């Protein structure tokens, strides 16, 4: 049997407060709820899932670096670091894994500083504005991408 794909979902600062934080923008679903439904979807898709959150840029970078030998694809919501972090971009480039960028809110219809992402041009694609269930779209899209790239080889 072939090895299961391993997908890493990374969440940046303040996403640990989902459910309590600006519920008019982000809703009432907690990060634990998101992890739970993602794990359920990963099981039905037959992939392994790792789920990580940190409020610290360096910890996010350490986790990205550690994924090099383990993961096949990274789904990342860098939160506010999306708009500022060249270091997270460089870490993603360094590990050279396919990346899907996700945001719960539609960053393109909010403040102008949120429109810029340091990673969108190095991502396969971006999911924005679909709420917490957007993580499921990212997982489905990630598995499709990995299956297609396996067929190409
Ligand atoms: C966010 C959008 C970012 O602009 C913001 O800083 C976040 C969350 C989102 O998921 O919509 O913390 O990444």
Q: Quickly state the pLDDT bin for 57 (edges 50, 70, 90).
A: very high
CA of 141 to the centre of ligand 1 (A): 20
Question: Which percentage of the chain shows pLDDT scores above 70?
Answer: 98
Active-site annotation holds for 145: no
Active-site annotation holds for 26: yes
- Say whether pLDDT at 151 is over 90: no
Our CA dihedral for 89, 70, 98, 80, rounded to 10 degrees, sits at: -40
pTM confidence score: 0.97
Q: What is the pLDDT of residues 101-110, one digit of tens each?
A: 999 999 999 9
- Distances in whole angstroms, Cα of residue 18 to Cα of each of 69, 107, 132: 30, 16, 10
Q: Quickly state the pLDDT bin for 150 (edges 50, 70, 90).
A: confident
Q: Which of 103, 116, 135, 145 is catalytic?
A: 103
pLDDT score at 1: 58
CA of 78 to the centre of ligand 1 (A): 7
- Say whether pLDDT at 42 is over 80: yes
Question: Atom 3 in ligand 1: which residue has the minimum CA distance?
Answer: 79
**78 CA: nearest ligand 1 atom:** 13
CA of 66 to the centre of ligand 1 (A): 24
Q: Is 146 exposed, middle or buried, given 0-12, 13-18 or 19+ CB atoms closer than 10 A?
A: middle
CA of 104 to the centre of ligand 1 (A): 7
Q: Which fold has domain 6-152?
A: Rossmann fold (3.40.50)
The residue ranges of every structural domain in the chain are: 6-152
Q: Which residues line ligand 1 (CB under 6 A)?
A: 14, 77, 79-80, 82, 103-105, 107, 114
50 vs 10: CA distance, rounded Å? 8
């Amino acid at each position: 049997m072939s090895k299961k794909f391993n997908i890493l979902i990374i969440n940046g600062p303040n996403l640990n407060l989902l459910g309590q934080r600006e519920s008019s923008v982000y809703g009432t679903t907690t990060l634990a709820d998101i992890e739970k439904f993602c794990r359920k979807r990963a099981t039905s898709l037959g992939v392994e899932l790792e789920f990580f959150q940190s409020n610290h840029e360096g910890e996010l970078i350490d986790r990205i670096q550690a994924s090099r030998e383990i993961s096949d694809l990274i789904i990342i919501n860098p939160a506010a670091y999306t708009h500022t972090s060249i270091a997270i971009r460089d870490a993603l480039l360094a590990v050279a894994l396919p990346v899907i960028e996700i945001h719960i809110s539609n960053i393109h219809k909010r403040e102008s500083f949120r429109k810029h992402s340091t990673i969108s041009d190095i991502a396969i694609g971006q999911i924005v504005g679909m709420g917490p269930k957007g993580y499921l779209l990212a997982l489905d899209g990630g598995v499709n991408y990995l299956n297609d790239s396996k067929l190409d080889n």
